[in-house]
Amino acid sequence: MKKLKFPENFDWGTASSGPQSEGSQDKPHESLWDYWYKNDKERFYQNVGPKITCDSYNRYKEDIKIMAELGLKSFRTSIQWTRLIKNLETGEPDPKAVEFYNNYINEMLENGIEPVMNLFHFDTPIELEQKYGGFKSKKVTELYVKFAKTAFELFGDRVKRWITFNEPVAHTKGAYLYNFIYPAELSTKSFAQASYNILLAHAGACKVYKSLQLSGEIGIVLDLLPPIPRSARSADKYAARVADLFFNMIFMDPCVNGQYDDEYLEILEKHDCMFDILPGEKELIKENTVDFIGINYYQPQRVNAPKYAPNVNAPFTPNWYFDDYEMPNRRMNVYRGWEIYPKSIYDIAMRVKNEFGNIKWFISENGMGVQNEERFINKDGMIEDDYRIEFIKEHLEWLHKAMEEGSNCQGYHLWTFVDNWSWTNAYKNRYGYVSLDLKTRNRTIKKSGYWIKKVIEENGFEP
């Protein structure tokens, strides 16, 4: 079979986040995760919290050495708001944190790894949740922009790719619709307001970044879960349309095109869930669209029209319009319980090309979570994760096809580098090119790590 070749400067990278990899040592503040864990351990897989994670706070040099050994070109992680900022009201930084992030970034650069820095990976400081109600309040939007400005001023001379938020809708969905992120308050109105305030925070950060005239780019990472209707029936298609408006276009439209789809706003109005807009905000959004998009893709969302009419006496939820549909015989990652459907990566890529002005973008997360991966350790102590190699290959094949057809994709970042701690799932699902020993925190390259090294060297692979 013909070898698939990628463009000359294709960005072969990998991604993690601060709260999932650094550990909480020396942080001046607690995030909502630190707090939630302390107060509700039962929610966390095997009751394990984010205190140590990969201990990259102390072991980042080892991580970067392995990245360089594998030939990876870039690494996305996040600067923790609760670490960098000492005074949350003024945005004044903590000197110890400044030193840590300076060292971390410099170490990447010295090893030829481009740092891609994200400013929010689901980790609001708990004080801001408790004092102001988190992103339901525009005060928190303002404080986020101060934090972003501090980060740009401190590290913007060396960081050339900035991300304002990771999967903002996963955050607001989890916090206000589906009960998996603190404060787990079920209210569509809060979902809509917090999502809007995050959009303002994002646009505000983009504005400040541009005003500083640093020579870099700024974007956002979105989890586009393409909703696939169960059938061609118009009711199922409409169900997919609404799921798309609420969970994809809610950020994609305003971040790239500068405005919402009116249909989303009409649905909110109809159910009395419209958010508060102040003068000047529409213009802020319009004038501060992104330079690029990062797209996280794991699995599609299959939907159909709801079977039953909604209970109109209960509070409105977007699920009045669609139900998740478990297609029989769909291909599953049996180790995680998620569907495997690589073609969606092609569909997303072509949609970006055809509907979003072919804006520059990259796969910022894609990967395969596996439970109890220790069972695949060979006699030399290496995890033989052939399933992961297969998974990556298939997704890259579809991505390559889209790029051949003109989609402006610049890179592929696997989630994740070293197996990390993942929210309430803790260490249940392992995703890395590199495994983490939970007793010693030692790192061992998996078979997929050696495989990607070869792919990067050859800038392609045989399908």
Contact between 292 and 220 under an 8 Å Cβ cutoff? The reply is no
Report the residue closest to ligand BGP, judged by CB.
Answer: 422
Q: Which residue, 165 or 260, has its beta carbon nearer to ligand BGP?
A: 165
State the residues that interact with ligand BGP by CB under 6 A.
Answer: 17, 20, 166-167, 170, 223, 296, 365, 369, 415, 422-423, 425, 429
Can you name the residues that pair with 370 across neighbouring β-strands? 430
Catalytic residue chosen out of the listed positions 22, 114, 129, 167: 167
Closest listed residue to residue 224, CA positions, set 338, 327, 366: 366
Measure the N-to-C terminal CA separation of the chain; round to a whole number of Å.
7
Q: Which residue, 82 or 429, has its beta carbon nearer to ligand BGP?
A: 429
Distance of alpha carbon 452 from alpha carbon 398, whole angstroms: 17
The secondary structure of residue 249, as a DSSP letter, is I
- Cβ neighbours of 279 (radius 10 Å): 6
Smallest distance from ligand BGP to CB 21, Å: 10
State the SS3 of 86-97: EECCCCEECHHH
Contact between 445 and 383 under an 8 Å Cβ cutoff? The reply is no
Smallest distance from ligand BGP to CB 415, Å: 6
φ and ψ of 358, to 5 deg: 50, 40
Does the active-site annotation cover 167? yes
Distance of alpha carbon 241 from alpha carbon 5, whole angstroms: 35
Catalytic residue chosen out of the listed positions 22, 114, 129, 365: 365
Does the active-site annotation cover 365? yes
Smallest distance from ligand BGP to CB 453, Å: 23
Q: Which residue, 93 or 432, has its beta carbon nearer to ligand BGP?
A: 432
Q: Which residue, 51 or 286, has its beta carbon nearer to ligand BGP?
A: 51
Q: Which residue, 177 or 273, has its beta carbon nearer to ligand BGP?
A: 177
State the SS3 of 104-144: HHHHHHHCCCEEEEECCCCCCEHHHHHHHCHHHCHHHHHHH
Q: Which residue, 115 or 367, has its beta carbon nearer to ligand BGP?
A: 367
Distance of alpha carbon 81 from alpha carbon 369, whole angstroms: 27
Contact between 409 and 366 under an 8 Å Cβ cutoff? The reply is no
Distance of alpha carbon 198 from alpha carbon 309, whole angstroms: 32
Q: Which residue, 431 or 461, has its beta carbon nearer to ligand BGP?
A: 431
Q: Which residue, 135 or 415, has its beta carbon nearer to ligand BGP?
A: 415
For residue 229, the surrounding DSSP H or E stretch is: strand 227-229
Peptide bond into 416 cis (omega under 30): yes
Q: Who contacts 295 (Cβ-Cβ below 8 Å, separation ≥6)?
A: 221, 222, 223, 224, 348, 352, 361, 362, 363, 364
- Cβ neighbours of 52 (radius 10 Å): 16
Find how far residue 203's CA is from the centre of its chain. 18
For residue 21, the surrounding DSSP H or E stretch is: helix 18-21
**Amino acid, res. 345:** I
Structure tokens at 206: 């983009």
Smallest distance from ligand BGP to CB 282, Å: 29
Smallest distance from ligand BGP to CB 244, Å: 18
Smallest distance from ligand BGP to CB 339, Å: 13
Smallest distance from ligand BGP to CB 361, Å: 16
Smallest distance from ligand BGP to CB 376, Å: 18
φ and ψ of 76, to 5 deg: -100, 125
Smallest distance from ligand BGP to CB 277, Å: 28
Q: Which residue, 192 or 368, has its beta carbon nearer to ligand BGP?
A: 368
**Which residues have a catalytic role annotated?**
167, 365
